[in-house]
Amino acid sequence: MTPDENQFEDSEIEVEAEILADDFVRYEAFEVQNRLWIKAITPILQLRSPDAHGNVRVQFAFDRLQIAACERLTRLLASDLPAVEA
């Protein structure tokens, strides 16, 4: 193997390492974003008294908010699980 061939292989390895490092940084950013979503959504899902608000419209809005939070949390957590065939 000549020095030129070895240098070519080294440059290929460096390029692949840079690509993998970029992919890892993107993956970490995605995971951090998911964790922040979970931290923001979880308090919405905590138990509250059934008569938290006397106004029916406000109660309805809170119910819809909880449903949306559950759906979002389900999507976030489902991405961590392997696909299941039905």
pLDDT tier at 8, thresholds 50, 70, 90: low
Three-state secondary-structure class, residue 49:
coil
Residue 83 forms part of a structural domain:
no
Indicate the number of domains in the chain. 1
Task: Note the pLDDT of residue 23.
Answer: 77
Q: Is residue 84 included in any domain, yes or no?
A: no
Q: How far apart, in whole angstroms, are the C-alpha atoms of residue 86 and residue 82?
A: 13
DSSP symbol at 48: -
Whole-structure pTM value? 0.56
pLDDT at residue 53 above 70?
no
For residue 4, pLDDT over 60 is answered with no
Q: What is the pLDDT of residue 50?
A: 65
Average pLDDT, integer, range 2-22: 70
Q: Look at residue 40 and tell me if it is in a domain.
A: yes
Measured between alpha carbons, how far apart are the two ends of the chain, in Å? 54
Using 50, 70 and 90 to split pLDDT, how confident is the model at 26?
confident
